[in-house]
Amino acid sequence: MASIVLNHIKKHYGKSDSNAVKDFNLHIDDKEFIVLVGPSGCGKSTTLRMIAGLEDISEGDIYIDNNRVNKLAPKDRDIAMVFQSYALYPYMTVYENIGFGLKMRKFKKQEIDERVRHAAKILGLEPYLKRKPKDLSGGQRQRVALGRAIVRNPKVFLMDEPLSNLDAKLRIQMRSEIIKLHRRLNTTTIYVTHDQVEAMTMADRIVIMKDGEIQQVGTPEEIYNQPANIFVGSFIGYPGMNFIPAKFSEGSILIENSRFNLLDEEIKLLTKHHYQDKSLIVAIRPEDIHMASAGTDSSFEALIEISELLGSESVLHTSIHHHDLLVKVFASNIKSNDKIDLQFDFTKMLFFDAETKKLIH
């Protein structure tokens, strides 16, 4: 068990000026489950590999359990890593694969045997110990990779997109298994993924990255409800958040020539930050736009271009003054080309600066 501190971490390759990771600062508490999430190329895997010691740190310091580990070889950092490809040795049995790390660290045969069998029991791998990886299903291979990590009882687990190679159904199953495993072992875990659903469902805290920079750090609720900027808002949540250019004037917002009255709190907020008669971006999640009966105050009529039925709910593609709008409603009877009345839930509405793209709060 250990806390991890990343202090002004930077990574650049060769002589190039552009940084793959730019000034990364994070304090990870003991037992915490941290998810690094972002689009490909955002530097999340590089950051993880620097913590693992597989990548040199260009600038800054990393501390694991209060020890500076910058110069330590991966094997001396007391970490375990699960790779996207599982990294199992094809010529070794499941038993040998799980016990590999212990053998490398010169554990006694009996101890190895006990630990491997214990890990296999936790992961339901007991019947497969004598098999080779090629005779296992994707999910089982994934479990073997997890087994290799937990058998050593390391201070930290690092997981690099461990579920990306699984099909959707298995991914959901393994997701909950990893969460259960974390509850059971309580080992500090850093988990890298590009899948926002994994981030939302697994993390104690999420770190959202883009272009080598942290965009926001927070609990899933914080990130979902108070995204720090437009990128975070659009990245987290499905379907994505709606962003509509608008103007704040006289206690209401103007979307083109439609006027919507704001709540007192919102007027106060925008006035305080001097947005009077200025452009800004209004953001609202698809589930915060509701169907309204015609003629209700601040409702508007919308033509449904596409209606996607997801089961109990539908995602409607529509627009307001030529700005695309996604709406999620609990109704299955709305068809394409229908015209319906909609209404914003103003308590859930967020405002972003039109230039900096940052949340106004």
Is residue 284 part of the contact set for other proteins (CB under 8 A)? no
Residue 192, both tokens: 């890298």
Nearest-angstrom CA–CA distance, 262 and 267 = 6
CA nearest neighbour of 216 among 38, 21, 7, 348: 38
Nearest-angstrom CA–CA distance, 133 and 140 = 9
Among 27, 68, 105, 348, binds other proteins (CB under 8 A): 105
CA nearest neighbour of 1 among 23, 26, 30: 30
Instruction: State the number of binding residues for other proteins (CB under 8 A).
Output: 24
For other proteins, the binding residues in 149-188 under the rule CB under 8 A are 152, 158
Among 143, 148, 175, 328, binds other proteins (CB under 8 A): 148
As measured in angstroms, the least distance from the Cβ of 154 to other proteins is: 9
As measured in angstroms, the least distance from the Cβ of 276 to other proteins is: 56
Q: Which residue number, 58 or 84, has a Cβ lying nearer to other proteins?
A: 84
As measured in angstroms, the least distance from the Cβ of 232 to other proteins is: 30
Q: Which residue number, 105 or 118, has a Cβ lying nearer to other proteins?
A: 105
Is residue 100 part of the contact set for other proteins (CB under 8 A)? yes
Rounded to 5 degrees, what are φ and ψ at 194? -105, 0
Is residue 95 part of the contact set for other proteins (CB under 8 A)? no
| Helix (H) or strand (E) segment spanning residue 208 | strand 205-210
Using alpha carbons only, give the angle 239, 242, 246 rounded to the nearest 5 degrees: 175
Among 40, 66, 90, 134, binds other proteins (CB under 8 A): 90
Q: Which residue number, 159 or 236, has a Cβ lying nearer to other proteins?
A: 159
For other proteins, the binding residues in 40-59 under the rule CB under 8 A are 52-54
Among 87, 303, 310, 331, binds other proteins (CB under 8 A): 87
Among 67, 85, 186, 276, binds other proteins (CB under 8 A): 85
Residue 336, both tokens: 């394409």
Rounded to 5 degrees, what are φ and ψ at 29? -75, 160
Nearest-angstrom CA–CA distance, 85 and 62 = 26
CA nearest neighbour of 335 among 353, 317, 352: 317
| Site residues for other proteins per CB under 8 A | 52-54, 73-75, 79-81, 83-87, 89-91, 100-101, 104-105, 148, 152, 158
